[in-house]
Amino acid sequence: MNAPSLIAVVATLLAHPVSAGPWEASVFTGVQNSGSSSVSGKGPGGVGAFFFSTDWDMGSLDGMDYLGVRAIYWVDARNGLALTLTRSTAVATATPVAGVSDVSFDGTLTLTADALHRWNANGRLKPYIGLGLGIAMPDARVTFATGEIERPDATGFAAAATAGASYKLDARTSAFAELHLSHARYDLDLSSGGSLKTDMTSTAINVGLSYRF
């Protein structure tokens, strides 16, 4: 290919850039809050059965903020399928019952498969909603008054609902804000033979960026 032909090809590509495809990758962060819930279970030795109600502090124990990533495939102009992964932390704020001194879920990873629907697909501002089901994988820590610390590995059921809007910045990039509701159920088996059960419902206001390719 001679130089004039190469220049002509480059000029054509610049004048008619390749359009973005149906895939979209997003990264987001936000402010998360959780309501109160009950915690029940059975501890080792003389701790026995326990039950208490608590609020949850959603601040991170290790300095990492609430974060999330999402991969979307738009089946058509209005409907899409997504995988959403978030990392969050919850620490019981109530003074636990005798025998239990601390309960926390640090670095919980929640993965959901979501169905999305959006409006005004060809416009700059696109409202959307989504529903998802999946799993929650907490890094749980239960500290007993005896000094014994349990860190059980567990996987719980998770569900999520999302409502938001994205704003097109250019052909491939958009910014978005959304309200993200999630619910997780934990049923942990402790190595000491004990157990711990709780349900947690949280609300997050997320902001993020998406790139379409």
Instruction: Give the separation between CA 38 and CA 184, rounded to whole angstroms.
Output: 13
Q: Is the pLDDT of residue 161 over 80?
A: yes
Domain locations along the chain? 21-212
Confidence of residue 46 (pLDDT cuts 50, 70, 90): low
Q: Where are the strands (E) in the chain, listed by range?
A: 23-43, 48-57, 67-74, 79-92, 100-118, 125-144, 149-150, 156-168, 173-189, 195-212
Query: Are the C-beta atoms of 166 and 26 separated by less than 8 Å?
Result: no
Classify 150 as helix, strand or coil. Answer: strand
Residue predicted with more confidence, 77 or 46: 77
Torsion of CA 200, 206, 70, 133, to 10 degrees: 30
Residue predicted with more confidence, 185 or 47: 185
What's residue 92's pLDDT? 85
Confidence of residue 99 (pLDDT cuts 50, 70, 90): confident
Q: Is the pLDDT of residue 2 over 70?
A: no
Q: What is the mean pLDDT of the chain?
A: 84
pLDDT, average across residues 33-56:
81
The model's pTM is 0.82
CATH class belonging to 21-212: mainly beta
List pLDDT tens digits, range 137-147.
888 888 877 77
Q: Is the pLDDT of residue 51 over 60?
A: yes
Classify 13 as helix, strand or coil. Answer: helix
Q: Is the pLDDT of residue 18 over 70?
A: no
List pLDDT tens digits, range 106-132.
778 999 999 999 999 889 999 999 999
Nearest to 53 by CA among 37, 29, 69, 42: 37
pLDDT, average across residues 74-86:
95
